[in-house]
């Protein structure tokens, strides 16, 4: 059972949840994570910053990893649903949505912190990949598989490698470059990749 499901079960058994308190707790957790990473995040400090009691947090999340996972998931907006008309257009839209996120310095710093502390929190990384990263990669996989099925992409296209190349291009630009806000970047990445995958 996920932390969200658990908290929903607890809500049905106890007092109604306060959306205002939930938001305050999530915001406080994200702020503290950005400031000091997972190591410096503790329930007592989150409660104080959010203006709630520790019991309020523990009724919703069993521990700080569960809280942090939900906080990081809440920070990432859903990627656009592929329209299904053009593989190229769908890939550009998905990649451009990822690029737009990289403009927010909170996301950049939190992602960097998460990667840097992954060795200390393998369970957190595993769950983050499972609940946040993989659903997004599934959208790219679906578009690429559809392209192979319709003949827009060549048979034998390596789906996983292609997803790595697409998403990795944005992540690398986010970490290493100052011009990550370039609006044409997603289109250029997709066009370059499709040159090698296009149906002959």
3-74 and 79-197 share one fold? yes
Structural domain boundaries in the chain = 3-74, 79-197
- Residues 6 or more apart whose CB falls under 8 angstroms from that of 88 comprise 152, 190, 191, 194
Provide CATH code, domain 3-74: 1.10.357.10
pLDDT, tens only, 19-60? 899 999 999 998 888 888 888 889 999 999 999 999 999 999
With H, G, I as helix, E, B as strand and everything else as coil, classify residue 164: helix
pTM of the complete model: 0.74
Domain 79-197 class in CATH: mainly alpha
Strand pairing partners for 198? 153
pLDDT, tens only, 77-126? 778 889 988 999 999 999 998 888 776 666 766 666 666 766 788 888 88
The closest of 134, 136, 152 to 144, measured between CA atoms, is 152
């Amino acid at each position: 059972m996920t932390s969200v499901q658990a908290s929903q079960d607890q809500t049905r058994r106890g007092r109604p949840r306060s959306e205002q308190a939930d938001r305050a707790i999530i915001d406080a957790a994200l702020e503290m994570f950005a400031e000091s990473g997972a190591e410096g995040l503790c329930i007592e400090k989150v409660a104080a910053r959010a203006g709630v009691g520790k019991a309020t947090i523990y009724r919703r999340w069993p521990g700080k990893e569960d809280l942090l996972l939900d906080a990081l998931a809440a920070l990432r907006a859903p990627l656009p649903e592929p329209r299904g008309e053009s593989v190229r257009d769908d890939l550009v839209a998905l990649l451009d949505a990822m690029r737009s996120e990289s403009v927010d310095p909170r996301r950049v710093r939190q992602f960097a912190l998460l990667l840097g502390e992954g060795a200390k929190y393998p369970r957190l990384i595993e769950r983050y990949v499972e609940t946040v990263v993989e659903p997004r990669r599934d959208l790219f996989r679906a578009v690429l598989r559809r392209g192979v099925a319709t003949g827009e992409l060549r048979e034998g296209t390596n789906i996983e490698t292609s997803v790595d190349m697409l998403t990795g291009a944005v992540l690398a630009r986010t970490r290493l470059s100052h011009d990550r806000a370039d609006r044409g970047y997603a289109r250029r990445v997709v066009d370059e990749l499709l040159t090698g995958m296009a149906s002959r």
